[in-house]
Structure 1
Amino acid sequence: MSQLQNVTAETPPPPGTQVPVTASEQSPWHGLWRDILGGGPLRSILAIVLALLIGSLLVVFTSDDVLETTGYFFSRPMDLFTAAGGVIGGAFRALWEGAIYSPRNGFVPLTNTLMWATPLITAGLGVAFAFRAGLFNIGGQGQILIAALFTGFVGASLQLPFVVHVLVAAFAGIVGGSIWAGIAGWLKAQTGAHEVIVTIMLNWIAFWGLTYLLKTPAFQAEGAGGNAKAKPIVESAQLPDLVGAADWGFILAIIAAFVYWWIMERTTIGFKVRAVGLNPSAARTAGINVAFITFLTMAIAGAFIGLAGATQVLGRATAGYDPGVHAGIGFDAITVALLGAGHPVGIILAGLLFGALKAGSFPMQVVEGIPIDIVAVIQGLIVLFIAAPPLIRAIFRLPKPSGIRLLDRIRAAREGQDDGPSSTKDGTGKGSNGKKNEVNA
């Protein structure tokens, strides 16, 4: 041991010398606190808080009551802070009562949040799936519109038993979204066309194509005149109510999140998608058909987004939809996917958050007179902060994470427990890796 103590950092030890390992280097939990403080979940929470704070300041400085107090601020400064507190408190109270709970209606507003969150979750899963392969699917709007076209035709034209009709109509929407996204994936794989440009163009093709088709006899509702209005969905194809304003589309969204997890974590396809996303060249060297995985990734991503279009038509637009059925969900889904960090649980929580913002924005406008556009501003700020982790770390002075996953730490801890504290199963003082245990040395 005396020889070991004389070894310095500048002088390497002689060959064969065992250098003792410190407890921090042995522990799989070393750096865990730094990962927690600098990790994605905390950064996401802080990004939301910061966005809400900036949104609150915008509401304050555009309020007539607050601006009125600025004229005599130096004589009665507390009036400004009182007015500002009243505006902010009223805004958040209206948001809470419109999205979660109100004294008059109980938890009925929460069902509005579930209703708005349903398509955001499924569309967010589609965007996140493409992200995992290094693809940016910005074509959610077009994929929802094509899914609505397929779903609306099946839901309005066929006569099937109740459950069968719902499933067939929803599946038609999934197929429609998958086909439309698959076109972008095929062009990316075969010609190298950038998926962002292609999906943006496909958005407009879908919008104007749907507008034209909804004015033809095969799709147009009776009495619509020159308006682009689809036929109503027959009762056997409508999603049944779940609770309040929410329908069974929310259950389908939860099932879709499980399917996303299963594909990504338990299938060969998911492994190949992640490999292509990490390094396409290395994946190609390993024998993965990168072109096919690119196409397949976009097709699966479109399937998830197509489910969002199906739930829109079968749940909210049963009286007939128009080209505005996409409701901006395709772009909001990008925010949901970023905030959820590509994890199904995170996407569900992010979808619920933005569903709450949408549900609460209407009472906030009616009761407090705050423009509904403030919600879009808050969403944009969240995207900005999520997309720039160094900015959040700099503002809140957070450490940079080590990048070691919690699951890997747990596995390392279990392996250490299996080896035992002394690792002397063979009686030679060597552990499973053939190295002498330094603690016993």
Structure 2
Amino acid sequence: MDETSNAMFPRWADLILVPLISLLLAAIISALVLLAIGQSPVEAINVMVDGALGSSYGWGYTLYYTTSFIFTGLAVTIAFHASLFNIGGEGQAQLGGLGVALVCLAFPWPHWSLALLAATLGAAAFGAAWAAVPAYLQAKRGSHIVITTIMFNYIASALIVYLLVDVLRPAGQMDPATARFPEGAKLPTLDMIPGFNLIFLKPVPANVTLFIALAMAVVVWAILWRTRLGYQIRAFGKSEPAAKYAGINPTKIILVTMILSGALAGMMSINNVMGEAERLLQNSAEGAGFIGIAVALMGRNHPFGVVLAAFLFGFLYQGGAELGLWTSIPIEMRIVVQGLVILFTGALDMMVRMLLTKAFGLFQSRKLGAV
């Protein structure tokens, strides 16, 4: 958009109206797909809303998925502000799970709070270390971050399989997984927290990690818009030559940004490895690393938007699971809806913005003409 278009297109429309229209378009196309396969869109939305938001059980699972997506969405967001497209959140989250498992199994923890602090540091350290290698390759060798991070996902998956099968699996156990974590490393779920137990009357997977995810959203916002480092990250992302001219070290920005991004992705594993499974399993990331890309795009790469977008995808995940349980609609429809949301909020985002820009421009022209 040129300067005239920017003047006619208000900021609130870009942040709120564009994502809402993109969502509406995705919903309309999803409804048409359901009609094409002989299913009722009204029944589908009723089942999804009731299954994801109609009970404390549904809310528990929705918030559980939301927690994971906040971490991975923030990981993509902070990298994106430096014009680094981190597609390696999946692998970084898996390595973060390894850090959680090693920490939790290392000691007979006397209290969950101590175990949580140590596991958070372990998850962040392992995720950051896994992201640091592609960052170094881009900063020093010119290797593209997209290629290296996505390849590191496969390396991480293979490494986890090897460790679970040949190293960390207890003797006599058939399934590839670590031993269960000690009782002192068991995180309280929302139904165990005073006040929340009045809402969540039955055990739910959502746990105290939700509050860490929300705190990290505030931390990322503070880093990006209230610190010198954040200014350097955003300046580097806008124009690398200009940032270099201003004295910003590109190697430092690439390394620091990717390390922060990897740490956030790794921290996702606290939620499902420590909080839900209570042991390290083969597919510990559960696809959240890739969903984080869509969450960041839809959240306009702003931490507050990421939280809202993560909640939407949490709703889609839980609601889609309910579709598979209670209707004849295939559970793959969840993937279709997610794909359409990504399509309209990502690939077709500019189309929606251009149409709105023309509409606002026409409105402003008529308003000036009337005056």
Asked if 1:272 corresponds to 2:247, the answer is no
Secondary structure of 1:121's counterpart equals helix
User: What is the letter of the counterpart of residue 235 of structure 2?
Assistant: A
C-alpha spacing 1:293/1:400, structure 2 compared with 1 (3 Å): farther
The percentage of aligned residue pairs carrying the same residue is 33
Report the Cα offset of residue 339 of structure 1: 0.4
Shift of 1:311: 1.8
Are 1:347 and 2:274 matched, yes or no? no
Distance 1:33 1:100, change over 3 A: farther
* Partner Cα distance (1:273, 1:401) in 2: 34
After superposition, the C-alpha distances for 1:17-76 in whole angstroms (9 at most, x for unaligned) are xxxxxxxxxxxxx9887416851321111111111111111111112xxxxxxxxxxxxx
TM-score by length of 1: 0.74
- Bigger Rg, structure 1 or 2: 1
What whole-Å deviation, never above 9, does each CA across 1:294-352 have from its counterpart, x for those lacking one? Answer: 0110000001111102222111111x232211111110000000000111110000000
- Of residues 151, 176, 198, the one that matches 1:228 is 176
Task: State yes or no: 1:297 paired with 2:257.
Answer: yes
Q: Does 1:97 align with 2:50?
A: yes
- Alignment counterpart, residue 123 of structure 2, candidates 173, 176, 187: 173
Judge conservation of contact 1:152–1:231 (CA < 8 Å) in 2: no
Is 2:241 the counterpart of 1:281? Answer: yes
Which of 367, 375, 385 pairs up with 2:344? 385
2:356 equivalent among 391, 394, 398: 398
Deviation at 1:223, TM superposition (A): 3.0
Q: Does 1:250 align with 2:210?
A: yes
Structure 1: tracts of 5 or more residues without a match: 1-29, 64-83, 403-441
1:41 maps to what in 2? Answer: 16
1:228 CA displacement: 2.1
Aligned AA for 2:28?
L
Q: Distance in 2 between matches of 1:130 and 1:202?
A: 16
Match of 2:137 in 1: 187
2:157 aligned with 1:207: yes
Q: Which has the higher helix share?
A: 2
Aligned-partner SS, 1:398: helix
Distance change (3 Å), C-alpha of 1:391 and 1:213: same
Deviates most, 130-139 or 181-190: 181-190
RMSD: 1.9
Q: Is the CA contact 1:120–1:355 (under 8 Å) kept in the aligned structure 2? A: yes
Partner Cα distance (1:274, 1:363) in 2: 41
- Superposed, 1:64-103 pairs within 5 Å as 87-101=40-54
Contact 1:276 1:290 in 2 (8 A): yes
Please name the residue that 1:152 is paired with.
101
For residue 369 of structure 2, what is the aligned residue in structure 1? none
Stretches of 4+ moved more than 3 A in 1? Answer: 30-34
Aligned residue for 1:215, secondary structure, equals: helix
Which residue matches 2:34? Answer: 59
Contact 1:36/1:42 (CA < 8 Å) preserved in 2? no
Deviation sequence 1:346-377 (CA, Å, 0-9, x none): 00000000001111111112212111111212
1:132 aligns with 2:81: yes
| TM-score, length basis structure 2 | 0.88
Q: Assess if the C-alpha contact under 8 Å between 2:64 and 2:271 holds in 1.
A: no
- Which sections of structure 2, spanning at least 5 residues, go unmatched? 192-199, 361-371
